[in-house]
Amino acid sequence: MTLTTGGVPPVRAGVAAAVPDGAPVRTADPDDPARKSGWDGAPRRKGFFTDTSICIGCKACEVACKEWNGVPEDGLDLLGTSYDNTGGLGASTWRHVAFIEQPAAPARPAVDLGMPARHRGSAGPGADRTGDTAGASTGPAERTDFRWLMSSDVCKHCTHAACLDVCPTGSLFRTEFGTVVVQDDICNGCGYCVPACPYGVIERRVEEHGPKNVGIAQKCTLCYDRLEVGRTPACAQACPTASIQFGDVEELRERAAARLATLHDQGVAEARLYGDDPDDGVGGAGAFFLLLDEPEVYGFPPDPVVTTRDLPAMWRRAGVAAVTLLAGAAASFLGRRR
* Stretch touching other proteins by CB under 8 A, among 3-11, 19-27, 248-256: 3-11
Residues 6+ apart with CB under 8 A from 214: 205, 206, 207
> Is the bond leading into 301 cis (omega within 30 degrees of zero)?
no
Rule CB under 8 A: say whether 108 interacts with other proteins: no
- Examine residue 304 and tell whether it contacts other proteins (CB under 8 A): yes
Task: Name the segment binding other proteins (CB under 8 A); options: 4-12, 21-29, 248-256.
Answer: 4-12
DSSP annotation string for 214-283: TTSEE----SHHHHHTTPPPHHHHH-TTS-EEEEEHHHHHHHHHHHHHHHHHTT-TT-EEES--TTSTTS
Candidates 23-31, 139-147, 247-255; binding stretch for other proteins (CB under 8 A)? 139-147
Measured from the CB of residue 286, what is the shortest distance to other proteins in angstroms?
A: 14
79: region left, alpha or beta (phi > 0 left; psi from -120 to 50 alpha):
alpha
Cα–Cα distance, 233 to 310 (Å, whole number): 33
Considering the complex, what minimum distance in angstroms separates the CB of residue 220 from other proteins? 14
Rank residues 58 and 250 by Cβ distance to other proteins and give the closer one. Answer: 58
Query: Please, which of residues 15-44 interact with other proteins by CB under 8 A?
Result: 15, 18, 34, 36-40
**From 21, 127, 211, 265, residue interacting with other proteins (rule: CB under 8 A):** 127
191 binds other proteins (CB under 8 A): yes
- The Cα–Cα gap between 83 and 87 comes to 10
Q: Which of 86, 152, 159, 245 binds other proteins (CB under 8 A)?
A: 86
By C-beta, is 23 or 269 nearer to other proteins? 269
251 is a contact residue toward other proteins (CB under 8 A): no
Count the Cβ atoms, other than its own, within 10 Å of residue 277.
Answer: 14
Q: Please pick, from the candidates 59, 156, 157, 253, the single residue that binds other proteins as defined by CB under 8 A.
A: 59
Sole binder of other proteins in the list 16, 79, 258, 261 (CB under 8 A): 79
DSSP-assigned beta bridge partners for residue 43: 26
Give yes or no for a contact between 199 and 300, defined as CB atoms under 8 angstroms apart: yes
Answer whether 235's CB lies under 8 Å from 222's CB. Answer: no
Per-residue burial over 101-130, b if 16 or more Cβ lie within 10 Å, else e, is eeeeeeeeeeeeeeeeeeeeeeeeeeeeee
Binding mask 150-179 for other proteins (x = CB under 8 A): x-----------x-xxxxxxxxxxxxx---
Q: Is 230 left (phi over 0), alpha (psi -120 to 50) or beta?
A: left
- The nearer residue to other proteins, 99 or 252, going by C-beta atoms, is 99
Identity of the residue, 26 or 37, whose beta carbon is nearer to other proteins in the bound complex: 37
The answer to the question of residue 73 lying near other proteins (CB under 8 A) is yes
Which residues, 271 to 290, sit near other proteins by CB under 8 A? 272
Is residue 64 within 8 A of residue 234, CB to CB? The reply is yes
Residue 107 is a binding residue for other proteins (CB under 8 A):
no
Residues in contact with other proteins, counted by CB under 8 A, come to a total of 190
| Least distance (Å) between residue 34 CB and other proteins | 7
